[in-house]
């Protein structure tokens, strides 16, 4: 693949993309829904969008079908400020669909349509923009990309080219429907951790990755693999971030949850922004917590990613009246944002 002579990207992500379809009414199952709204989805794609909302130069390496939804994705990425140059077509496959049911505050079932195979799993090593991957300030991948070939080989080729330089991130993002077993995923993650410097995941994902559910033991197990930073998302209990020299426990930011599905991606894009800005770990995690909470308070994922100003405003307690009111109601009710 031809690489660019432009300045290095702040962030390159790789992997899943598709169309999210939400019933226009909350609290209805798919068989009861009559109308749906669509938006771009897929965790690494959402992270690139979230970072772009903070003014970061981002791109995503992914694949779509040669269809209307693939064209829609490219158009939307450009509108979000994400460079689409590494989004290519796999003619014989269709762009994936994901149907998302919304039962606030904590039940959001997903139904994936990725058969016979998702185009984003057809990324091959020979197609990678290795110069861009090497030079990017942050390179972000997810566990899903390790579930099938040739995507798995492409991920390892990218890590080998990057040489475990700083800010090489693995989002543990374990989706059991993409794997034969949790044990198979753990084996692949164990090898992948040798090529990255940062891991991000929730308690369940950490258990799959390193066999630990206790946040501190999970973080320590990740650091023992040679990582520089382990981020463990604990839902209503906030986020634990650990290096060899520093431990940060940041509380969740309370909001009235509408849809928690994209909160982790909003967190991820904001995490990238803080790392790129050179902030302290404490400030970075606090900022990312608020960004994730804002996404959880909104209906969709990609279109819900906040700007830096929105995050800072809400974090200071001087947000738009409706967001401030939501936060206040959530505090009163003891509700917790999804981090």
Report the DSSP pairing between strands 58-64 and 11-14.
parallel
Q: What is the pLDDT of residues 85-122, one digit of tens each?
A: 999 999 999 999 999 999 999 999 999 999 999 999 99
Sign of torsion, CA 178 179 180 181? negative
- Is residue 65 within 8 Å of 89, Cβ to Cβ? yes
Q: Is 79 left (phi over 0), alpha (psi -120 to 50) or beta?
A: alpha
> What pLDDT, on a 0 to 100 scale, did the predictor assign at position 334?
35
* Low-confidence residues of the chain: pLDDT under 50: 2, 318-339
Pairing of strands 247-250, 239-242: antiparallel
Angle ∠(53,97,42) on CA atoms, nearest 5? 30
How far apart (Å, rounded) are the C-alpha atoms in residues 91 and 88? 10
pLDDT recorded at residue 236:
86
258: helix, coil or strand?
A: coil
Hey, which CATH number is domain 11-16+42-93+114-333, 3.40.630.10, 3.30.499.10, 3.30.460.10, 3.40.1190.20?
3.40.1190.20
Q: Give the pairing of strands 36-41 and 18-23.
A: antiparallel
H or E, element range at 274: helix 263-277
Q: Which residues contact 96 (CB under 8 A, 6 or more apart)?
A: 16, 17, 18, 19, 42, 112, 113, 114, 118, 119, 120
What pLDDT, on the 0 to 100 scale, is given for residue 4?
Answer: 55
User: What is the rounded CA–CA span in Å between residue 25 and residue 255?
Assistant: 20
pLDDT given for residue 174 in this prediction: 96
Distances from the Cα of 252 to the Cα of 75, 312, 338, angstroms: 34, 15, 7
| Tokens 């197990």 -> residue | 221
Confidence (pLDDT) at 235: 87
Per-residue confidence (pLDDT) for residue 326, from 0 to 100: 41
**Per-residue model confidence (pLDDT) at position 25:** 94
Quick check: helix, strand or coil at residue 59?
strand
Q: For the chain, give every domain's residue range.
A: 11-16+42-93+114-333
Distance CA 62, CA 71 (A): 13
């Amino acid at each position: 693949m031809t690489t660019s002579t432009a300045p290095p990207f702040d962030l390159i992500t790789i992997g899943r993309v598709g169309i999210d379809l939400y019933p226009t009414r909350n609290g209805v199952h798919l068989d009861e829904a009559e109308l749906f709204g669509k938006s771009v989805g897929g965790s690494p794609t959402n992270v690139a969008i979230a970072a772009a909302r903070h003014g970061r130069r981002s791109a995503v390496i992914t694949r779509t079908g040669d269809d209307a939804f693939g064209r829609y994705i490219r158009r939307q990425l450009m509108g979000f400020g994400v460079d689409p140059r590494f989004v290519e077509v796999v003619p014989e496959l269709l762009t994936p669909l994901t149907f998302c049911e919304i039962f606030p505050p904590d039940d959001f079932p997903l139904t994936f349509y990725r058969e016979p195979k998702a185009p984003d799993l057809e990324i091959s090593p020979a197609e990678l923009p290795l110069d861009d991957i090497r030079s990017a300030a942050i390179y972000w991948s997810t566990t899903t990309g390790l579930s099938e070939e040739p995507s798995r080989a492409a991920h390892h080729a990218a890590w080998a080219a990057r040489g475990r330089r700083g800010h090489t991130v693995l989002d543990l993002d374990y989706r059991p429907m993409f794997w034969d077993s949790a044990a198979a995923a753990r084996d692949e993650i164990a090898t992948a951790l040798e090529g990255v410097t940062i891991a991000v995941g929730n308690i369940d994902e950490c258990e799959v990755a390193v066999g630990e559910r206790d946040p501190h033991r999970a973080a320590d197990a990740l650091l023992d693999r040679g990582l520089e930073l382990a981020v463990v998302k604990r839902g209503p209990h906030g986020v634990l971030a650990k290096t060899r020299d520093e431990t940060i426990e940041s509380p969740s930011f309370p909001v009235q949850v509408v849809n928690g599905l994209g909160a982790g991606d909003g967190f991820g894009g904001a995490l990238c922004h803080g790392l790129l800005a050179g902030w302290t770990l404490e400030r970075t995690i606090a900022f990312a917590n608020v960004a994730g909470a804002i996404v959880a308070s909104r209906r969709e994922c990609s279109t819900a990613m906040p700007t830096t100003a929105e995050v800072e405003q809400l974090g200071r307690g001087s947000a738009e009246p409706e967001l401030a009111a939501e936060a206040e109601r959530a505090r009163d009710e003891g509700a917790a944002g999804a981090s």
